[in-house]
């Protein structure tokens, strides 16, 4: 039960960036503002990408730990 639940949680996390009108638009607006003010175009967008990547990896790690913990009972 945990693998499909974990996959759904990760998909929901990734899709939240598409659905969240306030959060993503504010992050994108902040990135555009920084890019325009400092003529740095890669750093703001890489930062946003890194934030989602870290969240996704953290959630995947947590699900893996839960699978390892509760999966022990199946092998006995």
Question: pLDDT tens for residues 13-59?
Answer: 777 765 555 566 677 777 788 878 888 778 888 887 888 788 888 88
In a domain, 47, yes or no: yes
Q: Quick one: pLDDT at residue 61?
A: 92
In a domain, 8, yes or no: yes
Q: Which domain covers residue 59, as residue numbers? A: 2-71
d(CA 73, CA 76): 6
- Tokens 């996704």 sit on residue: 56
Counting the structural domains of the chain, the total is 1
In a domain, 52, yes or no: yes
In a domain, 53, yes or no: yes
d(CA 26, CA 39): 19
Average pLDDT, stretch 62-72?
A: 84
pTM of the complete model:
0.57
d(CA 45, CA 35): 9
In a domain, 43, yes or no: yes
On the question of pLDDT at 72 being above 80, the answer is: no
Q: Provide the H-helix boundaries in the chain.
A: 2-19, 21-38, 42-75
In a domain, 76, yes or no: no
Q: Quick one: pLDDT at residue 41?
A: 78
């Amino acid at each position: 039960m945990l693998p499909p639940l974990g996959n759904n949680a990760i998909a929901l996390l990734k899709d939240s960036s598409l659905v969240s009108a306030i959060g993503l638009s504010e992050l994108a607006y902040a990135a555009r503002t920084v890019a325009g003010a400092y003529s740095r175009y890669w750093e703001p967008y890489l930062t946003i990408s890194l934030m989602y990547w870290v969240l996704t990896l953290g959630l995947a790690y947590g699900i893996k730990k839960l699978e390892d913990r509760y999966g022990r009972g199946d092998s006995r």
